[in-house]
Amino acid sequence: MNDASIVEAILFASDAPLAAGDIVRADEALDEDRVEAALTALRDEYDRSGRAFELRQVADGYQLITRPEFAPYLERFDTVPRTSRLSGPALEALAIVAYRQPISRVEVEYIRGVNSTGVIRTLLDRGLIEAVGRGEGVGRPVLYGTTGRFMEHFGFASLDDLPRPEELPVVLRDGAPLAGEADAEG
């Protein structure tokens, strides 16, 4: 068996993204360079052959996923798990957290203009955001940021993959700097 076949089998069997270091554990003959080369070969082969799936880097690993254009066909089968959708308010709050992290619930509420306790709880329960620290203000509020599950769910390898600020609604562009802007300016 070749490296690409071994890597492909491992990724096919996994329901979560795997880092090259995780894949190495499958065979003592593998090392991270060989795994990375196999991943590149698989990605190129899938893209060239027009297969129904692709190899995507998400969060801190790699995952085989069905190409989006095949979703209508899969939705017709009851055996395909359906992911529950986030409500509009939850997506709005999640976007605010993603671009403004670390951010407190009160800051999310200020930007949205409504109480956000419920949507923050939903996002926490789904593992899309997590507490990342405490603020310096009165009462030292909990600060929230996105998780690896957020990155995996939306197919981002890093926060740099988020849409550019100019592509977003005004509510997210105005005011405090977006995640990463403070670092770039400072």
Instruction: Supply the DSSP symbol for 18.
Output: B
For 54-103, the pLDDT digits (tens) are 898 887 788 888 888 887 777 776 555 555 677 888 888 999 999 999 99
For 136-185, the pLDDT digits (tens) are 988 899 999 999 989 888 888 888 888 887 776 654 444 444 444 444 44
Residue 100: CB atoms within 10 A of its CB come to: 21
Which architecture does CATH list for 88-185?
Answer: Orthogonal Bundle (1.10)
pTM, rounded to two decimals: 0.56
- Asked whether the beta carbons of 54 and 65 are under 8 A apart, the reply is yes
The strand pairing partners of 134, in sequence order, are 142
Delimiting residues of CATH 1.10.10.10 domain(s) in the chain = 3-74, 88-185
For the domain spanning 3-74, the CATH number is 1.10.10.10
